Amino acid sequence: MVKAIIMGVDGQDGSYLADLLLSKGYDVVGWVPDLDQVSYGNIQHNLSEMTIVKGDYINQESFVDLLDFHKPDELYNLASPSFPSLSWENIIPKSNVIGLGAGRLLEAIRLVSPKTKYYQASTSEMFGEPEDVPQTENTPFHPRNPYGVAKLFAHWLTKNYRSKYDLFAVSGILFNHESPRRGYQYVTRKITRSVAEIKLGLKNELFLGNLDARRDWGFAKDYVMAMWMMLQDEHPDDYVVGTGETHSVREFCEIAFNFVDMDYMKYVKVSDDFYRPVESKQLVANNQKIKDKLMWSPSVNFQELVELMVEHDLNLLKAEKSKS
C-alpha cells in the first residue's frame, strides 16, 4: 500500500487530495496544525479512513520524527496560510511557516526519508506583476505581497534540494482554484454564500472591492489531480497549473446571481475596504507543458464552477434553516 502524508489535510486542497488518494487505495496520514480552531468539516466524511497527526510548522524535530516514523512514499505540502492580502499582517511568523516550513520538510526528507516524493504548493502570486502574459514555467517572478515572496523562497528551495540532493521534489505553480470547500474569507465563496443568503432572504446586499479584478479560476478537484500526476511521473519537474482563461469578479457575480434568477447589480455594492493593498496583474496560466507532458487538463469550466458553488451554498443554507 502506498503511503502519503498530506500537510494541511483539513483545507480545501488537502481534503480533495485525501478523497483522491483514498479512492486509489492509499494509506493516508493527514497532518493538521496543533491549534484549537482546526476544523474537520472538509474531511469529516472520511476521517475514520485516515491517520490524523498534529504538529507545529516551526518545529524541525517534529518533522524529522514524522518522516522517520511513517517513511511515506509521497508528501504533499499544502498546509501554509494561503490568503495573499492578509499576508501583510504578521509578516514574520507567516513567512516562517510558508517559506522555512518547506525547508524544514525538505530537510527532514533528506535526513531520514530520502525516497519520499515531495510536492510543494507554489502559487501564481509568485509572478505578481509578470513580464510575460500568459505565464509559463520560465516566466520571471516578481511577487507583490509577502505571501508570494515566502512562496518563492519555498519554490526555489525545492528546486535546489532536487538538484543538490537528487530528491524527487516538484512544485506546482497553481493559479486560483475554488470549490464548495473554499473558506468564507475568499471572495469566491463570499460571493456564492451571499447569493444564497440573499436568495433565501437572509441578507440584502453584498459588499466587494474591485469588480474588474481578473483571475484564472479553476476547480480545486482538478488541481489536486494535477498534484498527484506530478508525483507519478518518472522525472521530477515543475508545472504551471491553470485554465488559461481569466474572468473578472464582476463576471463571477453575474453568473452566480443569474443562477438564482437575480440581477447582481441590484445587490452588489463596491467598498474601498475590500480592495487589495497591492493588486497582482494579468495573472493567467500557459498550461501547455502540463497538458503535453502529463496529459492534464481542467474538466470543469468557469460557469460550471460558479454554479456548483452557488448550488452547494443554497443547499447548505436550506439545511441549516430546516434545523433551526
Specify whether 187 is located in the same domain as 131. no
Does the predicted TM-score (pTM) go above 0.75?
A: yes
Specify whether 92 is located in the same domain as 120. yes
Q: What is the pLDDT of residue 261?
A: 98
Buried b / exposed e across 68-84, counting CB within 10 Å, b at 16+? eebebbbbbbbbbbbeb
The CATH number of whichever domain residue 273 belongs to comes to 3.90.25.10
* CA gap 167, 170 in Å, rounded: 9
Radius of gyration (C-alpha) of the chain in whole angstroms:
20
Residue 99 lies in a domain: yes
Residue 103 lies in a domain: yes
Annotate 104-123 with DSSP letters as a single string.
HHHHHHHHH-TT-EEEEEEE
Annotate 236-266 with DSSP letters as a single string.
---EEES-S--EEHHHHHHHHHHHTT--GGG
Specify whether 54 is located in the same domain as 160. yes
Q: What's the pLDDT tens digit per position in 68-112?
A: 999 999 999 999 776 566 667 789 988 999 999 999 999 999 999
Residue 285 lies in a domain: no
Helix (H) or strand (E) holding 74: strand 74-77
Residue 295 lies in a domain: no
Q: What is the pLDDT of residue 304?
A: 98
Residues of the chain scoring pLDDT < 70: 82-87, 274, 276-281
Specify whether 96 is located in the same domain as 112. yes
Specify whether 197 is located in the same domain as 167. no
Q: What is the pLDDT of residue 279?
A: 59
Residue 292 lies in a domain: no
| C-alpha cell, 284 | 493567467
Domain that holds residue 276: 183-215+246-280+300-323
Residue 77, beta-bridge partner list: 7, 120
Q: What is the pLDDT of residue 316?
A: 96
Specify whether 117 is located in the same domain as 188. no
Specify whether 173 is located in the same domain as 190. no
Q: What is the pLDDT of residue 271?
A: 85
Specify whether 200 is located in the same domain as 221. no
Q: What is the pLDDT of residue 276?
A: 63
Specify whether 89 is located in the same domain as 134. yes
Q: What's the pLDDT tens digit per position in 203-250?
A: 999 999 999 999 999 999 999 999 999 999 999 999 999 999 999 999
Specify whether 271 is located in the same domain as 233. no
Specify whether 77 is located in the same domain as 223. yes
Residue 152 lies in a domain: yes
Query: Residues in the chain, how many?
Result: 324
Amino acid letter, residue 180? P
User: In this structure, are residues 182 and 171 in contact, taking their beta carbons and an 8 Å threshold?
Assistant: no
Q: What is the pLDDT of residue 106?
A: 98
Domains of the chain: total: 2
The CATH number of whichever domain residue 85 belongs to comes to 3.40.50.720
Give the residue numbers annotated as catalytic, written as ranges: 123, 125, 147
Residue 165 lies in a domain: yes
What's the number of CA atoms in the CB half-sphere (13 Å) around residue 1? 12
Specify whether 41 is located in the same domain as 106. yes
